[in-house]
Amino acid sequence: MRDGADPPAVLVTLPPVTVAGVADVRRRVSEAAHEVGLSPERVAAFTVAVNEIVINAVEHGGGTAAVTLILRTHRVVVEVVDHGTAPWRFSVPATPPPPGQLHGRGLWLAAKLSDELTVDAGGIDRLVRLTATTAGH
């Protein structure tokens, strides 16, 4: 490794996630976020963000989700893929839904609690990528 070069990323691919496995995802994300140096408050916020996306993926994507954690120096990325039954035709909302609306806050909340959230929903499979970075990076 060259001086000053980032070490290679650490990839952690979790087994297919069902409703029963969501708590384990939260634990693993919390541990990973702590490991890369996020503050306790940022660990909690990022864990909530990932939780929202994983629950959406499991509920709306056929009952399972694929989750991969990518740990880098000062950064954790979580990729969540579901295999839904219909194309996804919307983007991350800029504002929360109206107070009287029962659903629709998960994606908006996850975007607010992450440093970056991207959606790749070009077909049936949907990929949501969430990133959290330590302060100053």
> Helix/strand/coil (H, E, C) string of the chain?
CCCCCCCCCEEEECCCECHHHHHHHHHHHHHHHHHCCCCHHHHHHHHHHHHHHHHHHHHHCCCCEEEEEEEECCEEEEEEEEECCCCCCCCCCCCCCCCCCCCCCHHHHHHHHCCEEEEECCCCEEEEEEEEECCCC
pLDDT tens-digit readout, 31-51: 999 999 999 999 999 999 999
Per-residue confidence in pLDDT tens, the chain, 137 aa? 455 667 788 999 999 999 999 999 999 999 999 999 999 999 999 999 999 999 999 988 889 999 999 999 999 999 999 887 666 666 788 888 888 888 888 889 999 999 999 998 776 788 999 999 998 77
User: Is 43 part of a structural domain of the chain?
Assistant: yes
**CATH number of the CATH domain containing 65:** 3.30.565.10
User: What is the residue range of 126's domain?
Assistant: 10-93+105-133
User: Is 16 part of a structural domain of the chain?
Assistant: yes
User: Is 113 part of a structural domain of the chain?
Assistant: yes
User: Is 100 part of a structural domain of the chain?
Assistant: no
Q: What's the number of domains the chain is made of?
A: 1
User: Is 88 part of a structural domain of the chain?
Assistant: yes
User: Is 84 part of a structural domain of the chain?
Assistant: yes
User: Is 75 part of a structural domain of the chain?
Assistant: yes
User: Is 67 part of a structural domain of the chain?
Assistant: yes
